[in-house]
Amino acid sequence: MFDRLCIIGVGLIGGSVARAARHYGLCKQIVGYGRPEDKHNLETAKKLGVIDDYYLQIEPAVSSADCVVIATPVASLESIFAALKPYWSETTIYTDVGSTKVSVVKAAQQVFGEVPDNFVPAHPIAGAEQSGVEASFYDLFLNRRLIITPLENTSKEALNKVQSFWERCGSVVSVMDVKHHDSILAATSHLPHILAFALVNMLGHKDEQSEIFKYAAGGFRDFTRIASSDPAMWRDICSANKSEIIPLLQQTREQLDTLQHLLENDESQQLLTIFAYANTARQRFLTQFEGNMSKSITFQVQPGGLLQGEARVPGDKSMSHRSIMLGSLANGVTHVKGFLEAEDALATLQAFRDMGVEIEGPVNGSLTIKGVGKHGLKAPKNELYLGNSGTSMRLLSGLLAGQPFDSVLTGDKSLSGRPMKRVTGPLAAMGADIKTTEQGTAPLYITGKSGQLKGIDYVMPMASAQVKSCLLLAGMYADGETSVTEPAPTRDHTERMLSGFSYPVTKEGSKVTINANGDLTASDIDVPSDISSAAFFLVGASIAPGSDLTLRHVGINPTRTGVIDILRLMGAKIEVLNEREVGGEPVADLHVVYSPLKGIDIPEHLVPLAIDEFPVLFVAAACADGQTRLSGAEELRVKESDRIQVMADGLQILGVDAQPTADGMVIQGGSIGGGVVTSHGDHRIAMSFSIAGLRANAPITVLDCANVNTSFPEFKDLVKRLGLDLVCEEA
Ligand code: SPQ
């Protein structure tokens, strides 16, 4: 990209820029510049091979450089600009790495009058505990965010080149205006540094300091890591951005006062609410932002083992979503028990918080939702990010189509590839205005059509509970009746829960009908365990000789129990015990013991009733005697991954004769071998291949398992406790 790169200030950041540029082959020659007192440091940089040469005078350093990176503390920028001014070249690109941008721009204005158009202010959000060139490393910026803050006159060419330079160093580049950068960084970087410095300063001055530090553990270390940063640098950053930081310090003080007051008055419930909110918000930050940037999780599964004991798997995902949606729209307070604390359901929860609903928890699966009524949602300030969750996006599109405000729905890579026309098509027929990409995928741009939707009589071309539920939610805001006819029964949690909240909904054969003449009355919800999560253990115990397992409090709604019927047809021994009804949904304990399985032709009418369980049923088929044939399941191709192709590919790697077809698979049962398979980021695929380990004759490595957290974060611990040798590796 460049012939000669000049780094002004070769410390941790400047040195790392140089190392990255060299590592990724972005320039031919790298020189450093520093003051005479920096000579020793520059000498070290040269010895380490970070730079090719150095200068103590600015002219020879920058002459013939086609890119100059200023990596000195922000307080020095004005004097650096002044030194550069006599040698400023039109053909060179100048950029910086300062943590505050208003001050950098002001410094440039001070020296040049107008900021030169070939200066591109930038800020890599990366750092390390140590400082100095010795601590620099080439991948400091890899998968880290980098913000460029161009001005109106910044040259497009220079901007593009700086952006491309950082992208080639592995950074994730965002562009924003200077002031916005400083207000964001004040909250996410500058304030945390001040709090860390303040805490260590306070504790350090206490008499008993040695005692305190001696017993300080991980929490102290994590919280105060950034207090090890360069004090002079942080003094300069905080001074430069004080106008943004001071109001935040005031808010922090108020928050601490609130916590102190709650402690003094033993208001533990309120305290818990604040902690739980923070816990969920941090989780969301990790999945929405950090998760996209790095973290890969691999499951290493040793062959053999059996499943024994008893367990209660987490709450039903479909019902958890719906409990938030209907609880939020109800009049009154809804208490939810058994809520699934996993990423998908938490995405729905966050979306409703973003629309002004007050929700306390979750704490151990319990939530309190302060319903705002059918017309009480508020316009979200930002797009609603729904992660990996198809249910959230499709159901919300129906609900939001008839609101008096606009909204935008986004999701992760997998969700952004899933078909949305199946909902936006019929919603458009009701008068909704929703824009998708040309491929009919998210983001969804919804223009609220309050009071303008009309009911329709829709015959669904595919058996989909999400499409049905979406239209029923839209029907609550439409003029006249909205009816949905399904080609085969699909899960009916929306209809049941609507009735539980006293909202009129009628069912005649395969047709469900709703209209706008109703209101939701808050009602407590007890979410049973998710049969889709239980399915991994039903299959695991059925295929592993010696297994004997009881799964407690599992939802056995007849629209979800296809997996039990299919496994029983294959010869599985599953008993349904203690059947009871909890909050309008049937629940039971499931007892399963090992039994040799045989291959079958899976009856098509069971397909929608077991739609999410096929990945693990394919594993059962691979262990069965004879051939298993599935057809009529083309819907599997548009789930979190193409579950037909991905499972067939993985099973073949494990030595199983698995032939994909357009709408299913043909599997010749036999033995399962070992190997490395990938889940393609699909939670159910990751868990299914892990279960295969119980009957494999060699270790199985399952790549890309982070999304297990979308539906079953406890899976790895639970399956280990029950008898599978699984190790979770994070990188
Ligand atoms: O929410 P999401 O991502 O679509 O989740 C899945 C799953 O495997 O967890 C599908 F991939 O479950 C869907 C299910 O397949 C949940 C659901 C619901 O809660 O209404 C209905 C089914 O989808 P569909 O497309 O058949 O309506």
| Cα angle value 322/323/328 (rounded, 5°) | 100
Q: Which two tokens stand for residue 218?
A: 């991980």
One-letter-per-residue 3-state SS of 625-664: ECEEEECCCHHHHHCCCCHHHHHHHHHHHCCCEEEEECCE
- Mean pLDDT confidence for 353-374: 94
User: What band does 213 get if pLDDT is binned at 50, 70 and 90?
Assistant: confident
Tell me the H-state helices in 451-560.
Answer: 465-475, 493-500, 531-543
The maximal CA–CA distance of the chain, rounded, in angstroms, is: 87
Any long-range contacts for 449-454 (C-beta under 8 Å, 24+ apart)?
449/401, 449/402, 450/402, 450/403, 450/404, 450/477, 451/402, 451/479, 452/402, 453/401, 453/402, 453/477, 453/478, 453/479, 454/430, 454/478, 454/479, 454/480
Give, using CA atoms, the residue closest to atom 4 of ligand 1. 390
* Beta bridge mates, 408: 445
Report the pLDDT value the prediction gives residue 291, as an integer from 0 to 100. Answer: 58
With the most atoms of ligand 1 within 8 angstroms of its CB, the residue from 316, 466, 712 to mutate is 466
Cα separation, 646 vs 708, whole angstroms: 16
Please report the atom of ligand 1 found closest to the CA of residue 463: 26
Instruction: List, by residue number, the catalytic residues.
Output: 612
Report the pLDDT value the prediction gives residue 342, as an integer from 0 to 100. Answer: 94
| pLDDT tens by residue, 160-171 | 999 999 999 988
CATH number of 184-266: 1.10.3660.10
Cα separation, 685 vs 712, whole angstroms: 12
| pLDDT tens by residue, 660-676 | 999 999 999 999 999 99
Tell me how far the alpha carbon of residue 388 lies from the centroid of ligand 1, in angstroms.
11
Question: 290-294, 383-387, 522-526 — which is least confidently predicted?
Answer: 290-294
Tell me how far the alpha carbon of residue 392 lies from the centroid of ligand 1, in angstroms.
9
Please check the confidence at residue 210 and state whether its pLDDT lies above 80.
no
Report the pLDDT value the prediction gives residue 583, as an integer from 0 to 100. Answer: 83
Cα separation, 501 vs 492, whole angstroms: 14
* Beta bridge mates, 367: 336
| pLDDT tens by residue, 271-319 | 988 898 888 888 777 777 765 555 689 999 999 999 999 999 999 999 9
Report the pLDDT value the prediction gives residue 425, as an integer from 0 to 100. Answer: 98
Give, using CA atoms, the residue closest to atom 15 of ligand 1. 612
- Mean pLDDT confidence for 74-101: 96
Cα separation, 102 vs 241, whole angstroms: 8
With the most atoms of ligand 1 within 8 angstroms of its CB, the residue from 612, 637, 710 to mutate is 612
Same fold, 298-310+529-730 and 317-526: yes
Cα separation, 496 vs 505, whole angstroms: 9
Question: 189-203, 212-226, 385-399, 639-653 — which is least confidently predicted?
Answer: 212-226
Q: How many CB atoms lie within 10 A of CB 217?
A: 7
**688 closest CA partner among 645, 643, 722, 652:** 643
- Which letter does DSSP use for residue 451 in this model? T
Residue with tokens 């083992």, as numbered in its chain: 305
Distance from the first to the final alpha carbon of the chain: 31
Q: Do the Cβ atoms of 483 and 512 come closer than 8 Å? A: yes
Kindly list the distances between the CA atom of residue 714 and the CA atoms of 302, 303, 687, 700, 720, in Å, as whole numbers in the listed order: 19, 21, 11, 20, 10
Give, using CA atoms, the residue closest to atom 11 of ligand 1. 639
Tell me how far the alpha carbon of residue 300 lies from the centroid of ligand 1, in angstroms.
27
H-helix or E-strand spanning residue 572: none
- Which letter does DSSP use for residue 314 in this model? P
Please check the confidence at residue 446 and state whether its pLDDT lies above 70.
yes
> Is 586 strand, coil or helix?
strand
| pLDDT tens by residue, 61-71 | 999 999 999 99
Give, using CA atoms, the residue closest to atom 25 of ligand 1. 464
Cα separation, 422 vs 408, whole angstroms: 18
Please report the atom of ligand 1 found closest to the CA of residue 321: 19
Please check the confidence at residue 82 and state whether its pLDDT lies above 70.
yes
Tell me how far the alpha carbon of residue 466 lies from the centroid of ligand 1, in angstroms.
7
With the most atoms of ligand 1 within 8 angstroms of its CB, the residue from 397, 563, 639, 710 to mutate is 639
- Mean pLDDT confidence for 3-18: 96
Give, using CA atoms, the residue closest to atom 2 of ligand 1. 390
Q: From the centroid of its chain, how far is CA 684?
A: 16
Give, using CA atoms, the residue closest to atom 8 of ligand 1. 612
Tell me how far the alpha carbon of residue 279 lies from the centroid of ligand 1, in angstroms.
26
- Mean pLDDT confidence for 691-718: 96
- Mean pLDDT confidence for 82-104: 96
Tell me how far the alpha carbon of residue 246 lies from the centroid of ligand 1, in angstroms.
46
| pLDDT tens by residue, 571-624 | 999 999 999 999 889 999 999 999 999 999 999 999 999 999 999 999 999 999
Regarding pTM above 0.75, the answer is yes
Non-local (6+) Cβ contacts of 508 within 8 A are none
**409 closest CA partner among 440, 376, 441, 383:** 383
Cα separation, 398 vs 507, whole angstroms: 20
Report the pLDDT value the prediction gives residue 262, as an integer from 0 to 100. Answer: 96
- Mean pLDDT confidence for 509-517: 98
Non-local (6+) Cβ contacts of 96 within 8 A are 69, 70, 71, 77, 104, 119, 121, 122
Across all residues in the chain, what is the average pLDDT? Answer: 95
**346 closest CA partner among 428, 250, 442, 279:** 279
Report the length, in residues, of the chain. Answer: 731
Residue 692 phi, psi (nearest 5) = -60, -25
Q: From the centroid of its chain, how far is CA 646?
A: 22
- Mean pLDDT confidence for 704-715: 96
Q: Do the Cβ atoms of 3 and 27 come closer than 8 Å? A: yes
Tell me how far the alpha carbon of residue 313 lies from the centroid of ligand 1, in angstroms.
18
Please report the atom of ligand 1 found closest to the CA of residue 611: 15
Please report the atom of ligand 1 found closest to the CA of residue 494: 20
Residue with tokens 């805490």, as numbered in its chain: 199
Report the pLDDT value the prediction gives residue 355, as an integer from 0 to 100. Answer: 96
- Mean pLDDT confidence for 428-438: 97
- Mean pLDDT confidence for 483-500: 98
| Cα angle value 461/684/408 (rounded, 5°) | 60
**52 closest CA partner among 8, 5, 11, 93:** 5
Q: Is 62 left (phi over 0), alpha (psi -120 to 50) or beta?
A: alpha
Domain ranges of the chain: 2-176, 184-266, 298-310+529-730, 317-526
Please check the confidence at residue 522 and state whether its pLDDT lies above 60.
yes
- Mean pLDDT confidence for 215-229: 86
Give, using CA atoms, the residue closest to atom 10 of ligand 1. 639
Report the pLDDT value the prediction gives residue 295, as an integer from 0 to 100. Answer: 66
- Mean pLDDT confidence for 416-424: 97
DSSP string spanning 79-105? HHHHHHGGG--TTSEEEE--S-SHHHH
Please report the atom of ligand 1 found closest to the CA of residue 395: 20
Query: Which residues surround ligand 1 with Cβ inside 6 Å?
Result: 317-318, 344, 389-391, 464-466, 469, 491, 611-612, 635, 639-640, 684, 711
Please report the atom of ligand 1 found closest to the CA of residue 388: 3
Q: How many CB atoms lie within 10 A of CB 701?
A: 16
CATH topology of domain 2-176: Rossmann fold (3.40.50)
Tell me the H-state helices in 584-628.
Answer: 614-623
Residue 308 phi, psi (nearest 5) = -145, 145
Q: Which CATH class is domain 317-526?
A: alpha beta
Tell me how far the alpha carbon of residue 248 lies from the centroid of ligand 1, in angstroms.
41
Give, using CA atoms, the residue closest to atom 19 of ligand 1. 318
Kindly tell me the sign of the dihedral angle through the C-alpha atoms of 653, 657, 659, 664: negative
Report the pLDDT value the prediction gives residue 39, as an integer from 0 to 100. Answer: 94
Burial class (CB in 10 A: 0-12, 13-18, 19+), 696: buried
Q: Which CATH class is domain 298-310+529-730?
A: alpha beta
**485 closest CA partner among 503, 511, 513, 463:** 511
Tell me how far the alpha carbon of residue 612 lies from the centroid of ligand 1, in angstroms.
7
Please report the atom of ligand 1 found closest to the CA of residue 462: 26
Please check the confidence at residue 193 and state whether its pLDDT lies above 80.
yes
What does DSSP say about strands 675-678 and 700-703: parallel, antiparallel, or unpaired? parallel
Residue with tokens 């399952």, as numbered in its chain: 702
Report the pLDDT value the prediction gives residue 293, as an integer from 0 to 100. Answer: 52
User: What band does 215 get if pLDDT is binned at 50, 70 and 90?
Assistant: confident
| pLDDT tens by residue, 538-557 | 999 999 999 999 999 999 99
User: What band does 126 get if pLDDT is binned at 50, 70 and 90?
Assistant: confident
